[in-house]
Amino acid sequence: MIAVDTSTWIAFLQGEPGEDAQLLDQALADRQVLMIPVVLTELLSDAGLASDVAETLAEVPLIEVEPGYWQRAGTLRAKVLSKRRKARLGDALIAQTCIDGGIPLLTRDKDFRAFAEAARLNLVL
């Protein structure tokens, strides 16, 4: 099972080339994708998203957050920021969801490397 960041979902939905988009396509065919709640929210925030695409995205199994998630996410973000690295709030929430579930993250966003270095975030590429 893998989780997928917004950057890869958008590239995939727009038909952009890339190893991450190919891996997402294969993982979807194999039913090996889990949806991160924050990613679903980001994707559904696009007013131009087709309703059938929105429905399909909502059908991907959602990862449940565990008790203490919000505190751990804040601590993780603080750890990355203390190293003077970029740590957007949404990225910290995405990273913590994957860390808690022990789920690898597929992304084309290089900012997640700071979370991989600071914690046990497993990046697919």
**What pLDDT digit, counting tens, does each position of 26-85 carry?**
999 999 999 999 999 999 999 999 999 999 999 999 999 999 999 999 999 999 999 999
Q: Mind listing the pLDDT tens digit for each residue in 76-125?
A: 999 999 999 999 999 999 999 999 999 999 999 999 999 999 998 999 98
- How large is the average pLDDT for residues 3-12? 97
- Find the domain containing 11 and state its range: 2-59
Residues 29 and 73 in one domain: no
In-domain check, residue 64: no
Residues 41 and 88 in one domain: no
pLDDT of residue 96: 98
Rounded to 5 degrees, φ, ψ at 45 are -75, -10
In-domain check, residue 110: yes
- Mean of the per-residue pLDDT values of the chain: 96
C-alpha to C-alpha distances, 55 to 29, 82, 116, nearest whole angstrom: 17, 39, 31
Residues 6 or more apart whose CB falls under 8 angstroms from that of 10 comprise 43
pLDDT of residue 125: 83
**How many structural domains compose the chain?**
2
- Give the global pTM: 0.94
Q: Is the pLDDT of residue 11 over 90?
A: yes
pLDDT of residue 62: 97
Residues 6 and 54 in one domain: yes
